[in-house]
Amino acid sequence: MDVNEVSIGLQSIIGLGAGLLSALGVWYKLKHKVDIKEQMIKQLQKEVDNAHIRITDLKKENRKLYEEFHQFERDFYKNK
């Protein structure tokens, strides 16, 4: 075995190792970004759900006030 062959083999192993480490670094970075995006999506979903609950409550409150007003109006004109 010639020294050049060993040198080429060693360079190949180092190159593959560097490529593998780079790929793992990219994978970890992307995985971290995806985790952050998933957390953001969950938080936004909670906010949307809370907004829907608030809208429903406001609709109920509005309906109640509407009915109370019309009852008052009917009573007012009835007693006139």
Residues 16-73 have pLDDT tens digits of 999 999 999 999 999 989 999 999 999 999 999 999 999 999 999 999 999 999 999 8
Q: What's the DSSP call for residue 1?
A: -
**The pLDDT value given to residue 80:** 65
Residue 68's identity, in one-letter code, is E
Task: Please enumerate, as own/partner, the contacts of 27-31 that have beta carbons within 8 Å and a separation of 24 or more.
Answer: none
Distance CA 48, CA 55 (A): 10
Regarding pTM above 0.95, the answer is: no
Helix locations, 1-80, DSSP H: 3-78
> By three-state DSSP, how is residue 59 classified?
helix
